[in-house]
Amino acid sequence: MSGIIWILVVGFVAGIIARLLSPGPNNPSGFILTTVLGIVGAFLATFIGQALGHYGPDQGAGFITATIGALIVLFIWNRLVASRVISDPGNR
């Protein structure tokens, strides 16, 4: 249980850092969406790290890896918005 809480906290911080590192017109607007994308990035980084054997089953990704995961998720989000596959909820 503490591992999931750690991933949530790290994902929250990673989402904010990823947003600051990747400014642009297609960034997700809003605090909640940025946080969710950061948490998804942290879970992605944890999953990939555990699959590669860098983390044990009870370990989560660190801040740097979670930030990289959040940047990847943010990049995918930007590409989906740019190609109009999904709409940006901040531009309604």
Instruction: List pLDDT tens digits, range 22-48.
Output: 766 655 666 777 778 888 888 888 888
CB contact burial 11-30 (16+ within 10 A = b; e otherwise): bbbbbbbbbeeeeeebbbee
Residue 59 lies in a domain: yes
Residue 10 lies in a domain: no
Average of per-residue pLDDT across 81-90: 69
> Tokens for 35?
């946080």
Residue 74 lies in a domain: yes
Residue 56 lies in a domain: yes
Between these two residues, 91 and 4, which has the higher pLDDT value? 4
| Structural domain count, the chain | 1
